[in-house]
Amino acid sequence: MLSCVEPQNATMLKKSQCTTPLLQPSEKKALQEVPVSKPQFWRIFFILGRLLLLVLNFLRDIVLQGSEEGRAAKVREFLELLGGMWIKVGQIFAMRTDLFSLEFCRELAKLQDRAMIFSPQLSMEIIEAQLGTSIDEVFDDFELEPFAAASLSQVHKARRKQAGNWVVIKVQRPYAAEYFQYDFNLLNLAFNLLGQFKALQYLRLDEMLQEIQASMEEELDYRLEASNMLRLKQTLTDHGIYVPDVYLEFNTDRVLVMEFIDGVFVSDFNSVLRDDPKRVKHWLAENNIDPCKVAQELLQSAFRQLYEDLLFHGDLHSGNIILLRNSKLALIDFGSVGRLDPKFAAQYDQYFRAMAEGAFDKAAELLLLTMGQLPPIDLVKVKRRIVRVLNKQAARSMIKNLPYYEKSIGSSSAELGQIMAEFKIGVNWQYLRMRRTFDTLDQNISILNPGFDFVAEIQMYLEGKFRRMKCKQIQQPPDMMQRINDLYELLTPALTRRAFEFEGEVSLESRLAAMVLQSITLAMWLVLIFCFGIYLYQYHYSIVGNLHLTSNWFTHWLDSIPPIHPYAWYLLGSVMIVIIFRTSRFASSLLEPVVPLPRD
């Protein structure tokens, strides 16, 4: 049975890009069928019983001086047993290196849904009910046995009528939404109880709940996943990464039909590499695949998704990455997609550049900016600690024989998280989502190229970004006003925080500084008005001509000013307006009552 056909649609994957099989059907793990039932009231006792058993095992492990990895493995197994929303809870805990050790977070990052299926006959009934027609009317061939599954869904292969291409039909497990609502209510109750303790408020448990709820609601509505696929297909095509076509005419909230990609998952590649490296070497040569090049393409694309597109695949584990011929890649499973606020992305981009340049003082300040609201702490002390960690990470990145995961951005995340926890700095969720992306990438790149040169990859990305920005500037004039505003948005919070700390000690100097800034603002308004008059005189004389300028020396002076291009006037005016408004706001902030910050 063919899995790849010559496409009738130009956007579909070509047969020449499909790989030969690496695993034989008999080698693939059999899927376990689990009966379907509504969530019962006694589920709470099942969860509490399992939780009590986990706590007892934990205590015994501590008494016996067991390893951190062992305890983390028990938590991972507990969450995998519960499935559904609890997998998402574990994945979010894995991001919190400010709460847990690096070993604990790495173990939780391995969380995978159990491969359990429900009745194929029931799956057919759901598909027909959702599509409003029989399967035979839409598909020529339908493989009754699912070829993959998770706790929320299972997938079947089928061939479309007339078009003849093979597709994947993703079907949501019955009562998945009901289980989520039941479990979420339990979690909400637990977090609300914990939130009553003031010592735990800096953990922002309410934000964690919102993150879990938003992620699960997105994953339970396949219409949102289809929308994510369409948006990321536009951006990832420019990266040279393939995204399957989605067939919107068959898309509902519980059924998603997309193009079948005939390639090899990185997860399968890794399992065969451990057991039979010779077979992998032959397969790579047969399909013209260079794992080092694949790792490079994957990381470069991740950088572009995060720092340029502001839209990124939120779950890049090895089961969502498919290897294609000629070192090409395809991504699947777009139920979890991250979006970045432009202001945050600009701040983090500056942090990233500062790291690449070795400007660790600047990088520390920018990292603190990305955290949002800061508690009343000594920023100088926190900054000093962060710089120490960044220096250590930079030193590790220069050691050639060190494993990739110890040299990447994620290698310093645990220590930085511990600093944030020590000073009770609430971590920005956008920052956590980005870090999870890098943590999962580390695992994949370690598989594909253990000797990856992370520093060289950062330099390559920055050079490529510079070229892309130049091309965009040629094709489309930049919005200078917006760019200047964005730059000032980066600088103003840092200056305001410095002023906040300074005024707590000497409010008189702050008032004097505010008076000076207000005087400068007034002077700049006068200069702006005068420049506007010169612009009108040079390019719109009919407007100023009505003023009857009779002073010979003044008109001679105006005539002696060489003509300035209108775009230069626009740029000058934009710069001055932004500076005037921001300086005025900064001066006002200096006069606000503040609380002195604690000192060493």
Opening angle at CA 266, ends 264 and 267, nearest 5: 105
> Is a pLDDT exceeding 50 seen at residue 599?
no
CA distance 191 to 203: 11
- Name which residue leads in pLDDT, 559 or 337: 337
Task: Give the predicted TM-score (pTM) of the model.
Answer: 0.74
- Name which residue leads in pLDDT, 370 or 19: 19
> Is a pLDDT exceeding 70 seen at residue 442?
yes
pLDDT value of position 594? 45
pLDDT value of position 97? 72
- Name which residue leads in pLDDT, 512 or 282: 282
> Is a pLDDT exceeding 50 seen at residue 505?
no
pLDDT value of position 397? 75
Opening angle at CA 70, ends 64 and 75, nearest 5: 115
Helix ranges restricted to H, 5-84: 43-63, 68-82
CA distance 576 to 131: 59
330: helix, strand or coil: strand
Q: Which residues pair with 312 in a beta bridge?
A: 338
Per residue in 151-188, pLDDT (tens digit) is 789 999 999 988 888 999 999 999 999 999 999 998 88
Stretch 531-547: mean pLDDT, rounded? 70
Stretch 312-339: mean pLDDT, rounded? 91
pLDDT value of position 510? 66
Top-confidence range, 24-28, 96-100, 120-124: 120-124
pLDDT value of position 600? 38
Stretch 57-85: mean pLDDT, rounded? 84
Q: Please tell me the least confidently modeled range out of 217-221, 388-392, 411-415.
A: 411-415
- Name which residue leads in pLDDT, 489 or 456: 456
pLDDT value of position 504? 41
pLDDT value of position 169? 95
- Name which residue leads in pLDDT, 149 or 30: 149
CA distance 299 to 303: 6
Top-confidence range, 120-124, 213-217, 408-412: 120-124
Contact 115, 151 (CB under 8 A): no
Residue 425 CB neighbour total at 10 angstroms: 20
Question: Where do we find the tokens 């930079």?
Answer: 394
**% of the chain beyond a pLDDT of 90:** 26
Crossing angle of helices 85-95/205-220, nearest 10°? 130
> Is a pLDDT exceeding 60 seen at residue 363?
yes
Stretch 562-572: mean pLDDT, rounded? 79
Contact 279, 185 (CB under 8 A): no
Contact 305, 451 (CB under 8 A): no
CA distance 283 to 324: 11
DSSP state letters, 87-129: HHHHHHHHH-TTTS-HHHHHHHTT-----EE--HHHHHHHHHH
- Name which residue leads in pLDDT, 448 or 67: 448
